[in-house]
Structure 1
Amino acid sequence: MIQSDTSVAKRYAYSYVRFSSPEQMSGDSIRRQTALAVSYADEFSLILDDRLTYRDYGISGFRGQNSASGRLGDFLGAVSLGIVPQGSLLLVENLDRLSRESALNAQSLLTQIVLAGITIVTLSDRRTYSIDELRRDPMGLIYALINFIRANEESELKSFRGKASFSAKRAIAESEPITSSCPRWLSLNKNDKTFSIIPARAKVVRDIFSLAQKGVSNTKIAETFNRHKVPAWKSDSLWTRDKVGWIARSSAVIGTFIPHVIEWKDGRQTRVPCPPIRRYYPAIISVDTFQQVQTGRLTSNWAGHGSIGYILNQIAVCENCGSLMIISPSAPNGPSMICSASVAGTAAHYAPIAYGPVDAALRQGLSAIFTACDISAPGYGRSRRLSVAQNNVDRARRELLAVSLSSSHTDLLEEMRHTLYLLEQDLLDKADMYQHSATSKLEKKLSEAIGCLSTGRHDKKSSIAINKVIRIIFSKVVVRSETGHIDLYHDDGKAQRINI
């Protein structure tokens, strides 16, 4: 056990916090793990380095994901680079926070950390694992091994039960739903476990297919719905071509449900589609109509993705209302940027901006900005996306709680639960891809974008490469048409300006 000694130089301690499911985020897991670390550091006069506190939110230790690509992997890298000095302490709640892999792999990870000169402290039982401690008491390795075996068996059992539960549900899918989640034109009757059609929303779906059969594009359908104030099934939402396209492609309209399972491939979590279950939902579109729309000339472009790449795709916003700007290649005077709200018919400021000069100015000014960019700073990579996803889930939970306490409208509550479910799935996806500091992959993207700018390439591939980096570094881009400036905003609100 570490003893407090004022005559000895203070030692650094680093906290590692991990949990694997979004439910734990709203619970006591973060507070408990953090409080234990702070208390231990205070008790033994350790310097708890807040700048390098390592946290893996929604990251599994069962497959070694945290040590391979998560923040524990970053800690190991910091140790090897000397950023974390030898003799430091790594504070964890239990050994299973480090790993839930097979005992052999978990023991290897513990040994790797200890041999690097780091002392591991498990805060729940105050045990220490260091070179000196394990030499004095080799039974510590046996104790750790037993804990790793127990943790791995628990995770294996959870995985087996999850798969068995899904298989059992699928076996009875024709008689009762697998999950309460369903398309928004349906609702689940919990008493008799059947789906009911919501007439007003079903009519919207039928209108989409009717218009599509007549050759109307998804953009025009969305514009028509917005102008006629057709509810988009969310109070603050508008119809977009993507929403229309998703409905037009969804096999749920003909009653078919395609379940997915989570599998691990090449060390990564992947959603894998299972064989479709027919007649799962009540059909609201005939099979002939559905197939006609799928094979029609418009279906190849339902998502609204053109064949040309633009470096401001999905990042430029309107200077008047903040809505996303659409880049139209078919404008009379060449490609133009148009406010999506004005296209949707909900805003009057229809003022196209010529895209050519904007693109030329960006290609001239971005190279210096990219070269000077410090992508190792917090906020780049995927951490911002995870924070946004966490905030969205928290907000949805608060709204659901408030409505459930003050409302008895089951349809509204069911819709809010469905929204929360989708946000939680998005959080899991973001957590799966989470990275806080720069990685070789991110550095490669930046290098590729700088290369495309320096060589003057204007093909689709180079434009997409530049666009990816813009969307990593900046939160939005605003083209000031009257003053002739382009403002590129960072997450903290600061902007970098390029003259057109």
Structure 2
Amino acid sequence: MTERNIVVPYERFSSKQQAEGDSLRRQSDAIKGFIDKNGYILDDLGFVDKGLSGYTGKNIKGGALGEILQMLKDGTFPAPHKRILLVEKFDRLSRLPTTDAITDIIKPILRTGLAIATVKEGKILTNDNIDDMGVFLPIILLLNEANAYVETLTYHVTKAYDDKFERLVNEGTIMGHGLPAWLKYNQDKTEILPIPNKVKLLQTMFSLAAVGYSSNKIANYLKEHHEDEFLTEKQTSWNVQSVLRYMKNRSVTGRYTSKTKNRPTVIRENYFPVVISTQDFEKVQAIINSRTQSKINKGLKTTGKDGKTKNLFTGLLKCSECGMGLGFRSSGDGRGTKSKYSLACNGRLNKTGCKHATIQYMMFERAIMEHIRQINLHAVLNNKSSVNMIDTYRSELALKKQQHDMIMKQLQGALDEDDMLDFMILKRTYKKQMKEIEQKIQEEMIKCVAVPNFENVELDSFLMDCELDGNTPDWNQRQKVQANLRMIIKKIVVDDEKIKGVPRMHQIHFKNGAVEMVTTSRNKSGSIYIEDKNKTELSNDQSKSDYDYLHML
């Protein structure tokens, strides 16, 4: 028995498919046979790289081979001069280009005293015989062959895929790769077929979503009525994430989208069997998006971190250029040329291409509040027909409640699952319609009675620009005014000053559909004045309380 008699095995396979095959067992058996034949000792230390490519060098960058190299470098590898690193074949160690394999793997290992041996060739490579061309030349040829094999294989696979991709683009030919969970191939992979029971599950999800069922309620329904039915083998339960994943997958409409590196994105309609119509799919997406936006609005903060209501128009401001919201920003000291508070388009801040200029908040706030205080809100918001409309809506609501109650009785007596689902959809439809009618009643009542009184509000006591005189805004009053504004205003579209000197035309959209215009401009001295929508010039006899000059901050 020689001094170098301890074997450290290294095994590797490249893909997940090989994990399910015989690769690892074959390598282990070969290494064990080599040890028994030559009388070596199997070390407790062993290394395995599962699913890591030797061609890309992943077994070095994040694998067991990289760990071996690091241990040798750090001096923590036990007695390398007494050990042999044993692999089945050299291609298990590396499939890198020959020069890289020698420079990055072979020589760094041998220099530490650790030897390398392969079962197939039966030769041991050491730092002492590396210069022997009779030993080293066959190693070079083997490494070159290992790399060339992958290069050739990659070429043929890529060429085959390119041919398929070209036929997909030009003819819509089936690619033959993985399919959505509710579809399968026929025996010779020439046709894509729906899986009936899985398609039915999908259609149930979309039917429930279309009448307003939330993702959570759909998941609960599936747990109750389809407890052991799933779209994939790995799935073990229904939850919000799994429901949303399928309902947002446009493949249900038949669309196939190919997104492959270094290739253009290809979209083919009717590539897959259509299991959900495009119209129904878009309807469900709109419901999902509106519910998401509703959650955002519910969580909208109306005060700052200090608990003060600085922005009266939180959640109401929209950019006239891109439609995104305007954010409230606090900066500067409020003196000189820097504004302490400003409004900036989120689209511009997020670099989406919007060029909407920043606007001074104090000027904008006074302009909007001056206008709202002076107009007759009762005339703007009241509708003479509102009382009659309320009565009409209440009659409709009573009828829908009767229909809803009838469906509830039929649902309790339903035994068949399909009938039960139909009744549940009808129930949800009536409930949604009732909610819409109740919302209309509320809107009409707002027109009649919920008209906030801004006429007697003393603006100078609570507007932010009172800080310029060293005063503190009435924060309680600001919070009340903010709540009143949100009750009657749907949105305020903030205009951009596209041409210097041309007034900005801001639009106040009330919830009853009425629209008011507020104009802000800059005069030659740099001041900003406010114009009523019906008055474009300031008369000499108008008091300062009606039209207040605001100076640049």
**2:17 corresponding residue in structure 1:** 23
| 1:83 maps onto 2:77 in alignment | yes
| 1:232 maps onto 2:248 in alignment | no
TM superposition score normalised by structure 2: 0.47
Question: Residues of 2 paired with 1:103 and 1:301: CA distance?
Answer: 55
Whether the 8 Å CA contact 2:176–2:189 is kept in 1: the answer is no
Question: Residues of 1 paired with 2:192 and 2:257: CA distance?
Answer: 16
Q: CA, structure 1 residues 234+154, in 2 after alignment: closer, same or farther (shift >3 Å)?
A: closer
Out of 13, 30, 35, the position equivalent to 1:41 is 35
**1:243 corresponding residue in structure 2:** 242
Question: Residues of 2 paired with 1:299 and 1:63: CA distance?
Answer: 46
Letter in 2 for 1:195: I
Whether the 8 Å CA contact 2:14–2:52 is kept in 1: the answer is yes
Shift of 1:54: 0.6
Shift of 1:262: 7.4
Where do residues 241-320 of structure 1 align in structure 2 (5 Å cutoff)? 241-259=240-258, 261=260, 274-298=265-289
Letter in 2 for 1:217: S
Structure 1 gap segments, 5+ residues each? 264-271, 309-500
**2:107 corresponding residue in structure 1:** 111
Out of 6, 31, 34, the position equivalent to 1:12 is 6
Percent of aligned pairs with the same residue?
Answer: 27
**1:211 corresponding residue in structure 2:** 208
Question: Residues of 1 paired with 2:41 and 2:20: CA distance?
Answer: 28
Per-residue deviation, residues 319-338 of structure 1 (Å, max 9, x unmatched): xxxxxxxxxxxxxxxxxxxx
Shift of 1:132: 1.1
Q: Which has the higher contact order (CA 8 A, sep 6+)?
A: 1
Question: Residues of 2 paired with 1:72 and 1:299: CA distance?
Answer: 52
Question: Residues of 2 paired with 1:57 and 1:260: CA distance?
Answer: 27
- Secondary structure of the residue aligned to 1:171 is helix
Shift of 1:242: 2.2
Where do residues 51-66 of structure 1 align in structure 2 (5 Å cutoff)? 52-66=45-59
Shift of 1:161: 1.7
Q: CA, structure 1 residues 204+38, in 2 after alignment: closer, same or farther (shift >3 Å)?
A: closer
| 1:220 maps onto 2:217 in alignment | yes
| 1:92 maps onto 2:87 in alignment | yes
Question: Residues of 1 paired with 2:291 and 2:126: CA distance?
Answer: 60
Out of 136, 153, 174, the position equivalent to 1:177 is 174
Whether the 8 Å CA contact 1:91–1:120 is kept in 2: the answer is yes
Shift of 1:129: 1.2
Where do residues 370-409 of structure 1 align in structure 2 (5 Å cutoff)? none
**2:537 corresponding residue in structure 1:** none
Letter in 2 for 1:148: L
Shift of 1:118: 0.9
Question: Residues of 2 paired with 1:11 and 1:273: CA distance?
Answer: 56
Q: CA, structure 1 residues 19+248, in 2 after alignment: closer, same or farther (shift >3 Å)?
A: same
Question: Residues of 2 paired with 1:152 and 1:247: CA distance?
Answer: 42
**2:441 corresponding residue in structure 1:** none
Letter in 2 for 1:224: Y
**2:405 corresponding residue in structure 1:** none
Question: Residues of 2 paired with 1:180 and 1:190: CA distance?
Answer: 14
Shift of 1:298: 4.5
Per-residue deviation, residues 389-448 of structure 1 (Å, max 9, x unmatched): xxxxxxxxxxxxxxxxxxxxxxxxxxxxxxxxxxxxxxxxxxxxxxxxxxxxxxxxxxxx
Whether the 8 Å CA contact 1:119–1:128 is kept in 2: the answer is yes
- Secondary structure of the residue aligned to 1:131 is coil
Letter in 2 for 1:35: D
Q: CA, structure 1 residues 194+299, in 2 after alignment: closer, same or farther (shift >3 Å)?
A: farther
Q: CA, structure 1 residues 76+291, in 2 after alignment: closer, same or farther (shift >3 Å)?
A: same
Q: CA, structure 1 residues 13+100, in 2 after alignment: closer, same or farther (shift >3 Å)?
A: same
Q: CA, structure 1 residues 17+143, in 2 after alignment: closer, same or farther (shift >3 Å)?
A: same
| 1:189 maps onto 2:186 in alignment | yes
Letter in 2 for 1:113: I
Question: Residues of 2 paired with 1:240 and 1:201: CA distance?
Answer: 17
Q: CA, structure 1 residues 294+238, in 2 after alignment: closer, same or farther (shift >3 Å)?
A: same
Whether the 8 Å CA contact 1:258–1:277 is kept in 2: the answer is yes
Per-residue deviation, residues 110-139 of structure 1 (Å, max 9, x unmatched): 11111121100011011221111224x234
**1:387 corresponding residue in structure 2:** none
Question: Residues of 2 paired with 1:192 and 1:90: CA distance?
Answer: 45
**1:354 corresponding residue in structure 2:** none
Question: Residues of 2 paired with 1:224 and 1:19: CA distance?
Answer: 44
Whether the 8 Å CA contact 2:6–2:41 is kept in 1: the answer is yes
Shift of 1:277: 3.1
Question: Residues of 2 paired with 1:65 and 1:161: CA distance?
Answer: 22
Letter in 2 for 1:32: R
Out of 147, 154, 157, the position equivalent to 1:159 is 154
Shift of 1:210: 2.9
How many aligned positions are there? 289
Whether the 8 Å CA contact 2:172–2:268 is kept in 1: the answer is no
Structure 2 gap segments, 5+ residues each? 300-553
Per-residue deviation, residues 54-74 of structure 1 (Å, max 9, x unmatched): 111111100111112111111
Out of 109, 133, 136, the position equivalent to 1:138 is 133
Shift of 1:199: 4.1
Out of 119, 125, 129, the position equivalent to 2:121 is 125
Question: Residues of 1 paired with 2:268 and 2:185: CA distance?
Answer: 17
